Structure 1
């Protein structure tokens, strides 16, 4: 999607303001229908370390256990008209939507992406489902991690909108990428997104000691299910948000010493999009 050259790009401070309204709307819906969410990833670091956004971060992440995730998505899809300008995007209700996670959008705004198949997006928050991941960590990782990582790489090539050369220095890496990406385009993104989605069925969450983000992203990080058996509230800018009771363990397994600031040169947004008012 191409932006009008006369439009002014939103600043990160403006994106933060709009994002907070989306978080508030999401939280209200969860309260209304009786589901839990947990602030996660960089946004959870922001809550713990900054009491709000990491100043250079340009998105907001939450996770939900699979049953709550599906209940939340179904509610938003069936109440789409009354939720305007907010709109939940999933593969169930948006034909060209290229992710196996949901995004709750404010459609008064328009996000323009650099290299993703076209779909209509606003300012958004990411909502990741967590699925069962068994009870024997080494066996689960051995069975799933590499397969998931390889499939995710091909899935990204299936949803991009133009070819970019491999970042590896060896010429044959770029050739291999070109060939595999061409195959991915022929099969179509739905085929690979469906294969990623199938990972949610590998383990019964009720019988699992671990849970994980099974259907999106590369690699595999296992979380103790008990970390998400309850929540506490934390300050996030002008809101109170839910974080998992095991937030410290969750962050350490992802980031190590998460209270340590990154080098100055790394304090930049990491997402490839720009946002404009419609």
Structure 2
């Protein structure tokens, strides 16, 4: 394989162009599989506030209800040959893939990560499944949040490629991280990722008032299921994309005053990777 760096690193504008083609492919797959997606997180802020990408954002996020997510993943696995150069990454479809979310990749490009054990990633869209999260918010938070956050932290340590000191700037936290990370490496990422994956089975989505991203990421934010009972279309660059009907409540839940721009020094990409043409 030719060295990925030979053709130069993609600019943020070039990443946006490639990602727009990925979004079109995602929409086409969802239409063919008869499932819904919802633009979410920073990408949803982009749709509402900028009618496209946040200028300094370097990825794209969608969420799907678990039933649609499973159908989407199965469809991609059945049609993977005809989808090239697009490829869906899940733990089931790609050996060594280190996340409990799916990523739709354009494999004409290669993403090189700062501190993740190497796997062959392209430019990608993150696809997060949403699961049932019960009807009693306080009970769910008490039961799940701390355990999920700890598992997520250890899972990341199990797949990093070098040790870094604790960001809490306390020597004993760095020492604890050193030993727990060592245990995580011995135990292996599958153990911790499987434990996180089990959270999807805690609550029946049909009887839940709330839904949440239960199997990945730190912390736990509960969403009213009714926010995702329908969708509206919004402009996103040259596309029309689906956003949850409760997009305003969803964004306020995550970000507060999401229409306010952050300080200028914070207007930078937050993901630790670079992208190259193959």
Q: What TM-score does the superposition give when structure 2 sets the normalisation length?
A: 0.98
Unaligned runs of 5+ in 1: none
Asked if 1:118 corresponds to 2:118, the answer is yes
CA offset at residue 34 of structure 1? 0.7
Partners of 2:251 and 2:73 in 1: how far apart? 26
Identify the residue that residue 163 of structure 2 maps to in structure 1: 163
Quote the offset at 1:77 in angstroms: 1.0
Deviation at 1:6, TM superposition (A): 3.2
Unaligned runs of 5+ in 2: none
Between the aligned partners of 1:191 and 1:23, the Cα distance in structure 2 is 32
Post-superposition Cα deviations, 1:132-155, rounded to whole Å, max 9, x if no partner, equal: 000000100011111111111111
Aligned 8 A contact 1:226 1:246 in 2: yes
In the alignment, what sits opposite 1:77? 77
For 1:87 and 1:12, the matched residues in 2 are separated by 22
The root-mean-square deviation of aligned C-alpha atoms, in Å, is 1.0
Distance in 2 (CA, whole Å) between partners of 1:198 and 1:26 is 27
Q: Is the 8 A contact 2:114 2:273 kept in 1?
A: yes
- 1:238 maps to which residue? 238
Report the Cα distance in structure 2 between the residues aligned to 1:228 and 1:5, rounded to whole angstroms: 41
Runs of 4+ in 1 over 4 A off after TM superposition: 2-5
Paired with 1:118 and 1:124, the residues of 2 have a C-alpha distance of 15
Task: Work out whether residues 4 and 277 of structure 2, in 8 Å CA contact, stay in contact via their aligned partners in 1.
Answer: no
Contact 1:3 1:112 in 2 (8 A): no
Tell me the residue number matched to 1:128.
128
How do residues 94-109 of structure 1 correspond to structure 2 at under 5 angstroms? 94-109=94-109
Aligned positions, number? 277
2-side partners of 1:118 and 1:193: how far apart?
Answer: 17
1:168, distance to aligned residue in structure 2 (A): 2.4
Deviation at residue 4 of structure 1 after TM alignment: 4.7
Whether the 8 Å CA contact 2:227–2:250 is kept in 1: the answer is yes
Distance 1:3 1:229 in 2: 46
Maintained 8 Å contact 2:4/2:110: no
Partner of 1:50: 50
What SS does the corresponding residue of 2:118 show, helix, strand or coil? coil
Q: Residue deviations 1:63-92, cap 9 Å, x none?
A: 000000000001001110000000000001
In the alignment, the residues of structure 2 paired with residue 72 and residue 89 of structure 1 have an alpha-carbon distance, to the nearest angstrom, of: 12
